[in-house]
Structures are given as C-alpha cells and as structure tokens.
Amino acid sequence: MASITQSRAERIARGHACPKCGEYSFKKLKVKRASKAHQQALGEVWHATKVCGVCGTLDEIGLDAEGEIVYGG
C-alpha cells in the first residue's frame, strides 16, 4: 500500500487541535519524512511539528502510512 502524501499529512495535522488550549490555529506547521529510527520503531512515515497560534504550545505528531496517529497529539 502506498503512503499518504505530504499534503495529506499536513491536512491531518491541521485537523488536530492544540492539546493545551483546544484551538486549531497554528503559527508554524512543519511536516517532514520520519527518521529511520522512528520508521522502524514506531511505523511512523510523517513527522509533524506544530506551534499553536494562541498559546504557543509545541506539539509533535507522528503519522503512519495510512494517516493514523502513532504518537503525539
């Protein structure tokens, strides 16, 4: 099965609210390929780093090939 695209991973990451304040506004969102270690240990394909636009909380989410969250959020 093919992995989800980077743009799809970005949409999934944006669809999860800040764990601290519950807002969906982010001043920074960065999605990149997961490291080899995370791919092997967690099955993570995409790694998203988000900074909340309201409270400034840093959040990280790991996504697998199907777009499911494997950690974070």
* Residue range 28-59, pLDDT digits in tens: 999 999 999 999 999 999 999 999 999 999 99
Domains of the chain: total: 1
Q: With pLDDT > 90 as the criterion, what percentage of the chain qualifies? A: 92
- We report the CATH number of the domain holding residue 23 as 2.20.25
Q: Is the pLDDT of residue 73 over 70?
A: no
Q: How far apart are CA 16 and CA 53, in angstroms?
A: 13
In a domain, 1, yes or no: no
Q: Is residue 50 part of a domain?
A: yes
Average pLDDT over residues 6-14: 95
Determine the pLDDT at residue 58.
96
Flag whether pLDDT at 1 surpasses 90: no
Q: Do 55 and 67 contact (CB within 8 A), yes or no?
A: no
